[in-house]
Amino acid sequence: MAELEYKLIVGLEIHVHLATRTKMFCGCGLAYGEQANTRVCPVCIGMPGVLPVMNKTAVEYAVLTALALNCRVASHTKWDRKSYYYPDLPKNYQISQYDLPLGEHGYIEIPLPSGTSKRIGIIRAHLEEDAGKNIHTLGNFSAIDLNRAGAPLLEIVTEPDMNSAEEVGALARELQRIVRYLGVSEGDMQKGHMRFEPNINLHITRDGQVYKTPISEVKNLNSFRAIERSVAYEARRQLDEFVETGRTMQTGNKRTYGWDDVNQRTVLQREKEEAHDYRYFPEPDLVPVEMDEAWLAEIRGRLCELPLEMQKRFAGDYGLSDYDAGVLTGDRSAAELFDSAVGKGGDAKRVCNLLTQTGMKIANERGCTVAELGVAAEDLARLAMMADAGDISATAATTIFEEMTGGGGRPDEIAERLNLTQKSDAGEIESMVDEAIAANAEAVAEATSGGKKSKKALGFLMGQVMQRSKGQANPKVVGEILSRKLGL
């Protein structure tokens, strides 16, 4: 059977953990990997009669993110109870926002491989509290850890504007960059700081008519790879199912799936309950949130240049490749260091290479940010200039950079101390070239013959000069003088 023509339609529901010091409605500290049930109090374990108190910082982080996502921020919002029964939710309801979300009608710009970008609509962004965690690995029973219960979560819902698994992955990565730039979340996928739930279906064209397949929601994805693979898998599965059963949105319900990472497939969990099953109603224990102009303006003042804007600026203004600009802006502190080192006279491409090939590598090995390497922008600029002038070799630049991160001093001092300065003094090099030419008549003859071996012979002569300089001559200068002397 011929392949049917179809369009993949994906929207995302995302939960982002906000990196506040304490939980959403109580004073318990947020922590990852602590002993189970040690970060709890009567409020977050749902004892009767306790009263929640709103965490102001969580609201500010949520508003800041909503602004970065170009949302309209509500001047008046409230809290609602979303009722459901689950062992990790001792109150039997979650405090969330229902009809008055904190942000609405925004968009996020996501980078595409072509160097262009695509705008994905944001339907809403609201604040809520997280549930606890069920643990099924201890034996023939389940245990519950409530350390996470009550942690502030920002839920973001996008329009179904993504049309490929790659676009879904790009949105996830871009959102991670944004929350890290804003400092509102560590965005660590492995620690569950960001959880993604794609809603997937197909618009299939057959005999001039469009059929929409029932939506699949894949729950709780916490790696970029799982996000992309589950979307691709569902597209394939839905197409097969349509061919087999002809099931569409009119004849089939929305279903919830999990992702089986071992077998790389989605697994049916249940047919989703409707919103009214949650019996939403206003939370009587919390006052509404009034966001006045002054407060909003203060939060708006904390916005920074966003990663994609920066990436485009680096590519456009400094002529970096989109790839390099993307790598650099993967870490805000690397991007900012690059920006100021170039501002202080370093060549953009050279500074970029030093940072991406050496700086980010070292930071990665040490598990820190580039900023934490403690390299000053002016020193980085100076190092780039030294490499460009041929005062040091590219290898030496790497060594010096490493030394600079340990507080080893200024690049000039380090080059001097480690004897890494190249000789570019033409007079001195000229006499070494003369010696090499005089001592290797055969190679000179071959190099100047223009034959097959001339290139190799020239390389040999280069090597002779470098040896005489004990490796310290600037190879570029040696090459120039050698060519001139040989009349090449």
Q: Residue numbers of the site for Zn ion (CB under 5 A)?
A: 26, 28, 41, 43-44
Nearer to Zn ion, 96 or 158 (CB): 96
Q: What is the per-residue DSSP string for 200-252?
A: EEEEEEETTEEEEPPPEEE--B-SHHHHHHHHHHHHHHHHHHHHHH---TTTS
CB of 292 to Mn ion, least distance (A): 27
Nearer to Mn ion, 43 or 131 (CB): 131
Nearer to Zn ion, 44 or 458 (CB): 44
User: Under a CB-based contact definition with an 8 Å cutoff, are residues 23 and 31 in contact?
Assistant: no
Instruction: Using alpha carbons, select from 98, 77, 90, 108 the residue that is nearest to residue 40.
Output: 90
Which helix (H) or strand (E) segment holds residue 197: the answer is strand 194-206
Nearer to Zn ion, 31 or 210 (CB): 31
3-state SS assignment for residue 166: helix
CB of 27 to Zn ion, least distance (A): 7
Distance CA 389, CA 37 (A): 60
Among Zn ion, Mn ion, none, partner that 36 touches (CB below 5 to 8 angstroms by kind): none
Strands 103-111 and 289-290: unpaired
Nearer to Zn ion, 43 or 194 (CB): 43
CB of 285 to Zn ion, least distance (A): 14
Residue 283 found at the interface with Mn ion (CB under 5 A): no
Nearer to Mn ion, 155 or 324 (CB): 155
Among Mn ion, Zn ion, none, partner that 157 touches (CB below 5 to 8 angstroms by kind): none
CB of 57 to Mn ion, least distance (A): 20
**Mutual orientation of helices 332-343 and 307-318 as an angle, nearest 10°?**
30
Site string (154-193) toward Mn ion, x via CB under 5 A? -x--------------------------------------
Among Zn ion, Mn ion, none, partner that 155 touches (CB below 5 to 8 angstroms by kind): Mn ion
Instruction: Using alpha carbons, select from 34, 130, 38, 138 the residue that is nearest to residue 90.
Output: 130
Could you tell me which stretch among 130-138, 152-160, 284-292, 326-334 binds Mn ion (CB under 5 A)? 152-160
> Residue 146: left (phi > 0), alpha (psi -120 to 50), or beta?
alpha
CB of 41 to Mn ion, least distance (A): 22
Site string (401-440) toward Mn ion, x via CB under 5 A? ----------------------------------------
Nearer to Mn ion, 155 or 234 (CB): 155
| Vertex 88 angle, CA 274 and 188, to 5° | 95
Distance CA 286, CA 478 (A): 77
CB of 127 to Mn ion, least distance (A): 10
User: Under a CB-based contact definition with an 8 Å cutoff, are residues 147 and 30 in contact?
Assistant: no
CB of 283 to Zn ion, least distance (A): 17
Q: Which amino acid is at 212?
A: K
CB of 39 to Zn ion, least distance (A): 7
Could you tell me which stretch among 52-60, 153-161, 167-175, 417-425 binds Mn ion (CB under 5 A)? 153-161
Distance CA 13, CA 197 (A): 5
CB of 105 to Mn ion, least distance (A): 19
Q: What is the per-residue DSSP string for 413-438?
A: HHHHHTT-PPB--HHHHHHHHHHHHH
Nearer to Zn ion, 30 or 67 (CB): 30
Query: What are the E-state strand segments in 84-165?
Result: 93-96, 103-111, 117-129, 133-135, 143-145, 152-158
Question: Token pair for residue 16?
Answer: 């982002």
In this structure, the dihedral spanned by the alpha carbons of residues 70, 75, 79 and 80, taken in order and rounded to 10 degrees, is -80
Nearer to Mn ion, 155 or 391 (CB): 155
Among Mn ion, Zn ion, none, partner that 189 touches (CB below 5 to 8 angstroms by kind): none
The site that binds Mn ion (CB under 5 A) totals a number of residues, namely 1
Nearer to Zn ion, 28 or 380 (CB): 28
Among Mn ion, Zn ion, none, partner that 368 touches (CB below 5 to 8 angstroms by kind): none
Among Mn ion, Zn ion, none, partner that 26 touches (CB below 5 to 8 angstroms by kind): Zn ion
Among Mn ion, Zn ion, none, partner that 44 touches (CB below 5 to 8 angstroms by kind): Zn ion
Q: Which residues pair with 45 in a beta bridge?
A: none
Q: Which residues pair with 21 in a beta bridge?
A: none
CB of 48 to Zn ion, least distance (A): 15
Q: What is the per-residue DSSP string for 379-412?
A: HHHHHHHHHHHTSS-HHHHHHHHHHHHTT---HH
Nearer to Zn ion, 52 or 198 (CB): 52
Distance CA 176, CA 198 (A): 16
Among Mn ion, Zn ion, none, partner that 14 touches (CB below 5 to 8 angstroms by kind): none
CB of 196 to Mn ion, least distance (A): 12
Contacts to Mn ion by CB under 5 A: 155
